[in-house]
Copies of this chain bind each other. A is one copy, B any other.
Amino acid sequence: MANPEILFQTAPEQYKHWRLAIDGPVATLSMDVQEDETLADGYKLKLNSYDLGVDIELADAVQRIRFEHPEVRVVVITSLKPRIFCAGANIYMLGSSSHAFKVNFCKFTNETRCAIEDDSSHSGRRYIAALNGTASGGGYELAIACDEIYLVDDGNSAVSLPEVPLLGVLPGTGGLTRLVDKRKVRRDRADVFSTLAEGLKGKRAKEWGLIDGYFPTSKFQESIDARVQQLAINAAPTQGIKLTPLEFESTADSRNYKYVKLKLNRDQRYADLTVHAPEGPQPTSADQIQELGAAYWPLQAYRELDDALLHLRVNEPLIGLVCVRTAGDAENVLAIDETLMANRDHWLVREIIAHMARVLRRLDLTAKSFFAIVEPGSCFAGNLLELLLASDRSYMLKDSDASLAVSELNQGAFPMSNGLTRMQSRFLAEPEKLDEVFGDKKPFDTDEAEALGLITFAPDDLDWEDEIRVAIEERTSLSPDALTGMEASLRFAGPETMDTKIYGRLTAWQNWIFQRPNAVGPEGALTNYGKPTQAHFDYKRT
């Protein structure tokens, strides 16, 4: 983490590694990684291998297609390099990164893969992985995040997950989980495939369900085009909006966007994150929203929140706790929700809501503790109430005019990774509480919120400051690793989905392996990859 601050904002004009071309209903995202344009020193991005910088561009491109090019119905992901689609995460980058950076890198790339699937399932765009060369490791993991995978049959190109045999780590960016859960590859075949460094080529890859088709080199492009044309029909011309750059002012201890303010209390290792409600008149029709574009509060505030969360994760590892606060008029937040609800069938509103849901899931998956602090002047209402429900605990001042309020959006617009709403997850033991909470939509004061079980603690005025201070001190004194494991376990009660399996099960095993001497020790496989020295394993099974 001695590297300079990592920025998560970019735009197609600034892309170094991807080209985004739009042709009516078809977007083509071509990977052309520039070896020397790395995020840190010490490695070269050969063979379309990637580091976090490459994935930040991919995440941006997927986001922009949704907002700026809604007319797109099919996204083709391919490579501009001959004979190679993508070689996956750069091994030398992984080998030289800190454990914490590796973990954050994998989490972000996982979220980008899930964002592709989110677009596919919510907005109906089809993603086609056109593998015009070998896709190995993270390259194949990117492919299985797409709806369909086609591989060139040139006698050489293959799909592979060589992490276990070559590196002693897992295909941890969803690879193993998507193999058996999304593509439902038979587990014995998945076992063989995941231990076969060279992977499988066209015919057998198709037979085993690893790809959807293969075409000879001479017919590859036309076959992809033909498939694209089948999927791209019936596209309605739609005008997108421009995702303008987010502006913020930062000092050593703060980072202030328009609606989201971050204050870093470094000595105490916690941050105050405040989201401000919109002010003044807000649009009520889809046309007005479209005209306002990226400046519309629910889009801008949540883009800012997203950026702040990523910044905290990667650039502020010593911040262990985030106190989530809100400020402004709850009525304005509820009015926004009403407008979003009324216009939810409009493409832009649908995208805005889906984006808010993704940002909230990013929060759920952030390895920091979150405490929601509810004071007079706060506005934990509707969509902002989700911030409280996503927090590990909440504190609400008693005998004050602080209040909470629900909106219709709390009833399904923002699903967690486990497929439930945060309110459903909260009341797993008492589902009948949901009727009470959503029964009459007036604000709940502290006593009501406490009686309903919406908050954790309701200290009175006399105790308030001390109780918050002690809670912060206690939390930040605990082992950060134990907290990460605890929060990952407690936040996702109830059903599991492919996403929760990726973030909970696969990621946890990968994190474990990322600590093991067999991977990262002086004689470990990751450490010694590509070096004249060889890996030596302690063969004891754990």
Taking beta carbons and an 8 Å cutoff, which residues of A are in contact with B?
1, 99-100, 103-104, 163-165, 167-170, 176-177, 179-181, 183-192, 194-195, 209, 269, 317-320, 367-368, 391-394, 425-429, 453, 455-456, 474-476, 478-491, 493-496, 500-501, 504-506, 508-513, 515-516, 518-519, 525, 535, 537-542
CB closest residue in chain B, given A429: B184
Q: How far is the CA of A491 from the CA of B194 in the complex (A)?
A: 13
11 example contacts (A-B, Cβ-Cβ < 8 A) are as follows A100-B541, A176-B486, A186-B427, A188-B394, A191-B392, A320-B541, A367-B541, A480-B537, A481-B516, A481-B519, A482-B513
Contact (Cβ within 8 A) A169 B482: yes
Q: How far is the CA of A194 from the CA of B185 in the complex (A)?
A: 38
Residues from chain B with a CB closer than 8 A to the CB of A476 are 539
Contact (Cβ within 8 A) B393 A484: no
CB closest residue in chain B, given A495: B496
Contact (Cβ within 8 A) B428 A184: yes
Contact (Cβ within 8 A) A488 B509: yes
Contact (Cβ within 8 A) A525 B479: yes
Q: How far is the CA of A47 from the CA of B539 in the complex (A)?
A: 37
Sample of 19 further A-B pairs with CB below 8 A, known A479-B513, A484-B541: A99-B542, A100-B542, A104-B542, A163-B482, A168-B482, A170-B486, A176-B486, A176-B489, A180-B428, A180-B489, A184-B428, A184-B493, A186-B426, A187-B392, A187-B426, A190-B490, A194-B486, A320-B539, A480-B542
**Contacts known (A317-B541, A481-B168); A195 close to B490, Cβ less than 8 A:** no
**Best-surrounded residue of A167, A476, A482 (most CB of chain B within 10 A):** A482
Closest 9 CB pairs of A and B: A168-B479, A508-B508, A184-B429, A485-B509, A496-B496, A180-B493, A176-B489, A515-B515, A317-B540
Q: How far is the CA of A447 from the CA of B535 in the complex (A)?
A: 40
Contact (Cβ within 8 A) A482 B103: no
Residues from chain B with a CB closer than 8 A to the CB of A538 are 480
Nearest-neighbour CB distance to chain B for A424, whole angstroms, equals 12
Q: How far is the CA of A487 from the CA of B189 in the complex (A)?
A: 12
Contact (Cβ within 8 A) A490 B100: no
CB closest residue in chain B, given A430: B184
Contact (Cβ within 8 A) A478 B195: yes
Nearest-neighbour CB distance to chain B for A165, whole angstroms, equals 6
Contact of A176 among B317, B474, B490 (CB under 8 A): B490
Contact (Cβ within 8 A) A489 B505: yes
Residues from chain B with a CB closer than 8 A to the CB of A506 are 489
Contact (Cβ within 8 A) B192 A481: no
Residues from chain B with a CB closer than 8 A to the CB of A505 are 488-489, 504-505, 508
Contact (Cβ within 8 A) B539 A512: no
Contact (Cβ within 8 A) B481 A518: yes
CB closest residue in chain B, given A161: B486
Residues from chain B with a CB closer than 8 A to the CB of A542 are 99-100, 103-104, 317, 367, 480-481, 484, 511
Q: How far is the CA of A278 from the CA of B542 in the complex (A)?
A: 33
Contact (Cβ within 8 A) B367 A192: no
Residues from chain B with a CB closer than 8 A to the CB of A488 are 505, 509
CB closest residue in chain B, given A515: B515
CB closest residue in chain B, given A479: B168
Residues from chain B with a CB closer than 8 A to the CB of A320 are 539, 541
Contact (Cβ within 8 A) A539 B483: no
CB closest residue in chain B, given A193: B490
Nearest-neighbour CB distance to chain B for A173, whole angstroms, equals 12
Residues from chain B with a CB closer than 8 A to the CB of A481 are 168, 512-513, 516, 518-519, 542
Contact of A490 among B168, B191, B426, B535 (CB under 8 A): B191
**Contacts known (A456-B188, A541-B319); A489 close to B518, Cβ less than 8 A:** no
Residues from chain B with a CB closer than 8 A to the CB of A187 are 392, 425-426, 490-491, 493
Contact (Cβ within 8 A) B482 A170: yes
CB closest residue in chain B, given A497: B496
Residues from chain B with a CB closer than 8 A to the CB of A165 are 478
Contact (Cβ within 8 A) A479 B518: yes
Nearest-neighbour CB distance to chain B for A388, whole angstroms, equals 10
